[in-house]
Amino acid sequence: MMGGPVLVLSQNVKRESGRKVQTGNINAAKTIADVIRTCLGPRAMMKIQVQHPAAKSMIEISRTQDEEVGDGTTSVIILAGEMLAVAEQFLEQQMHPTVVISAYRQALEDMLNLLKETSTPVDVTDRDMMLKIIHSAINTKALSRWSDLACNIALDAVRTVELEENGRKEIDIKKYAKVEKIPGGIIEDSCVLKGVMVNKDVTHPRMRRLIKNPRIVLLDCSLEYKKGESQTDIEITREEDFAKILQMEEEYIQQICEDIIRLKPDLIFTEKGISDLAQHYLMKANITAIRRVKKTDNNRIARACGARIASRTDELKEEDVGTGAGLFEVKKIGDEYFTFITECKDPKACTILLRGASKEILAEVERNLQDAMQVCRNVLLDPHLLPGGGAVEMAVSHRLTEHSRALTGVEQWPYRAVAQALEVIPRTLIQNCGASTIRVLTSLRAKHSQKDNLSWGVNGETGTLADMTELGIWEPLAVKAQTYKTAVETAILLLRIDDIVSGHKKKGGDDKTGGEQGAE
């Protein structure tokens, strides 16, 4: 016990260690992979609530995958589960987990190199090719009926927010490509606006609701009288002093309005409030004002029309005015008013307008679109492609098996097992079609052992062999690489754990006793 941590545990704690834990973890991972296996398609992770710590980390990786590259969430779980399943036999043969792990690490390195070798560079300016790639990402999802529309929307949106600075590409979908869902209409009405839409109306009924080529000023300060930061009491003894204070308030508001009017804008957006008096002054100067715009919306408007957000009215300069927008209008859709700033010359932000019958449909469509945009972004950032439909897995698996022959020592077996584990993706695709797994998989293996058949995989609809280049099913390199990395890393992580201490919640009390402990 010298120097080791002393764990004080309560009565109701169970501790498992050694082989039992490893088999437990592997079984949990296999179970999750089996449940998920049937839906090699859109994110299906959200349906599952799990208790087992190993299973929890399996669910967690699909979330990571989704945040990182936005696709391949199902594959990652199936692969990780399979990697662990093939490791089980080695543990039973008393091979030490660290040996298996180092073989896995070696295999992962070779897999990533093979992916780079087999990938084909893609011309990002070729619109048809880009649409094809996005198409294969959307095909498995609920949007597949409107896939042409969705592909175009995704591509236009990503293209709009693409920014190149100092040779570095930045594509921030989250901040600058906002999806606005408005129930009503049909899905075909959805579109990408060349500009921004905000769920707001003008502040004063007599302000203009349609302005061509507006000059736009963006503020994040309020156009009302400042109240003191700390509480202040003013005692007034003479009546004239009260009138004076009121006059000072009015003069202050008049001053900030004059600061704005000096620039002759047509349109003001502010993130804070606008008092009635300020509205009156702006109205007289024929300026339309819109208040309490969200900060994120304000940033998008700034990128769309080229304006700069000012924090104080007295610091407004001519270059802060945005003149890039071609049209400002307020429209009523359903029972709400929406402000549109469209026809921008070179917008770097956009709004995707989604219409559909119900909120549920819209939520589903939005999720699918997010995936499509992620795929598009991945290709633009790393323009390399790999054939889909399990073709890559078979090719890499075949090459790894060849490599493993050159290895000596015990490590060659787990290394070869990784190659076998990769075959789970085409196998699952075949199973989901209801075709004969053994027959199709064997012929696919034979196909890959010949030269120049790298792009042969499984046709996900019929369960027969097909050349993926002809079907046009492609996947971005970034997604595949991330899938492999995450799957192997997770398998390694779970193999390392050989001791779990788990406490039960006391009834009534919420405090957890014990925790999880992994020991190598």
Average pLDDT over residues 356-368: 81
Better-predicted residue by pLDDT, 380 or 136? 380
Residue 13 pLDDT > 80: no
Under the banding of pLDDT at 50, 70 and 90, the label for residue 519 is very low
What residues does CATH 3.50.7.10 cover in the chain? 195-226+241-346
Q: What is the pLDDT of residues 374-409, one digit of tens each?
A: 888 888 877 888 887 788 888 888 888 888 888 888
Residue 518 pLDDT > 50: no
Say what the pLDDT of residue 514 is.
42
Q: Which fold has domain 195-226+241-346?
A: GroEL (3.50.7)
Q: What is the pLDDT of residues 272-289, one digit of tens each?
A: 888 888 888 888 888 888
Residue with tokens 């009390």: 509
Residue 290 pLDDT > 80: yes
Say what the pLDDT of residue 412 is.
86
Q: What angle do CA 172, 173, 176 make, to 5 degrees?
A: 80
| Nearest of 490, 128, 200 to residue 351 by alpha carbon | 200
Residue 68 pLDDT > 80: no
Tokens of 230: 């700390």
**Distances 318 to 215, 217, 305, 400 between C-alpha atoms, Å:** 10, 10, 14, 63
Tokens of 185: 């209409």
Q: Which fold has domain 14-121+386-502?
A: GROEL; domain 1 (1.10.560)
| Rounded Cα distance, 370 and 381, in Å | 16
Say what the pLDDT of residue 4 is.
64
Say what the pLDDT of residue 140 is.
64
| Nearest of 345, 363, 342 to residue 354 by alpha carbon | 363
Residue 292 pLDDT > 70: yes
Average pLDDT over residues 433-460: 82
Average pLDDT over residues 121-136: 78
DSSP E strands, 204-280:
210-212, 216-219, 267-270
Residue 479 pLDDT > 70: yes
Mean pLDDT, all residues of the chain: 80
Average pLDDT over residues 36-51: 59
pTM above 0.85, yes or no: no
The lowest-confidence range among 69-73, 120-124, 264-268 is 69-73
> Which range, 28-32, 293-297, 495-499, is most confident?
293-297
Say what the pLDDT of residue 88 is.
85
Say what the pLDDT of residue 48 is.
62
Under the banding of pLDDT at 50, 70 and 90, the label for residue 505 is low
What residues does CATH 1.10.560.10 cover in the chain? 14-121+386-502
Report the amino acid identity of residue 112.
L
Residue 269 CB: number of other CB atoms within 10 A?
Answer: 26
Say what the pLDDT of residue 309 is.
86
Average pLDDT over residues 368-378: 81
| Rounded Cα distance, 97 and 100, in Å | 5
